[in-house]
Amino acid sequence: MEHVDRVDRLLALVAELRAASPEPLEPRELAARLAVSERTVRRDLELLTHGGLPVRAEGRGGYVLAAPAEPEPLSEVASLMGPVRGTLAEAVRRRRIVRLAYTDQAGARSFRDVEAHGLVTAPYGEYLVGWCLMRDGPRMFRVDRVGAAVLSGRGAEVRDLDGLLAALRVPMPRPAAEAGPRGPAGAVRARAWTLDRLEFVRSRLRDAAVQVRGGGEGAAALRGVLGHLAEWTRWQLAAVRAAATGEEPVLEGRRPAFPAGFDRELPYDARERMIQDAMALRSLGDLARDLNQVLEAAAHWAADCDDALWEEELPDPRPYGPPGPPRPLADLLAGWRGPLAHIEWHLDRLTDEPPRPISDDEEELWVVDRCPLQA
Query: DSSP string of 197-243?
Result: HHHHHHHHHHHHHHHTTTT-TTHHHHHHHHHHHHHHHHHHHHHHHHH
pTM (global) more than 0.95: no
Phi, psi of 99 (to 5 degrees): -100, 130
d(CA 191, CA 310): 7
Report, in angstroms and rounded to the nearest whole number, the Rg of the chain calculated over CA atoms: 28
Task: Report d(CA 226, CA 7) in Å as an integer.
Answer: 58
Amino acid 169: pLDDT: 54
Question: What is the distance between the alpha carbons of residues 341 and 305, in angstroms, rounded to a whole number?
Answer: 22
Confidence (pLDDT) at 351: 59
Q: What is the pLDDT of residue 233?
A: 93
Coil, helix or strand at residue 159 = coil
CATH number of 76-168: 2.30.30
Model pLDDT, residue 59: 67
Question: Can you name the CATH fold of 187-374?
Answer: Four Helix Bundle (Hemerythrin (Met), subunit A) (1.20.120)
Question: Torsions phi, psi of 125, nearest 5?
Answer: 150, -175
**pLDDT computed for residue 80 by the predictor:** 78
CB 22 within 8 A of CB 63: no
**Alpha-carbon distances of 191 from 129, 203, 307, 364, rounded to whole Å:** 19, 18, 8, 36
* Residue ranges of domains in the chain: 2-65, 76-168, 187-374
pLDDT of residue 134: 85
Which segments of the chain have a pLDDT < 70? 1-5, 59-60, 68-73, 122-125, 162-163, 165-185, 214-217, 320, 351-370, 372-375
Contact by Cβ (8 Å): 235, 319: yes
* Class of domain 2-65 as given by CATH: mainly alpha
Q: 151 and 74 in contact (C-beta within 8 Å)?
A: yes
Residue whose C-alpha is closest to residue 174's, from 313, 338, 373? 338
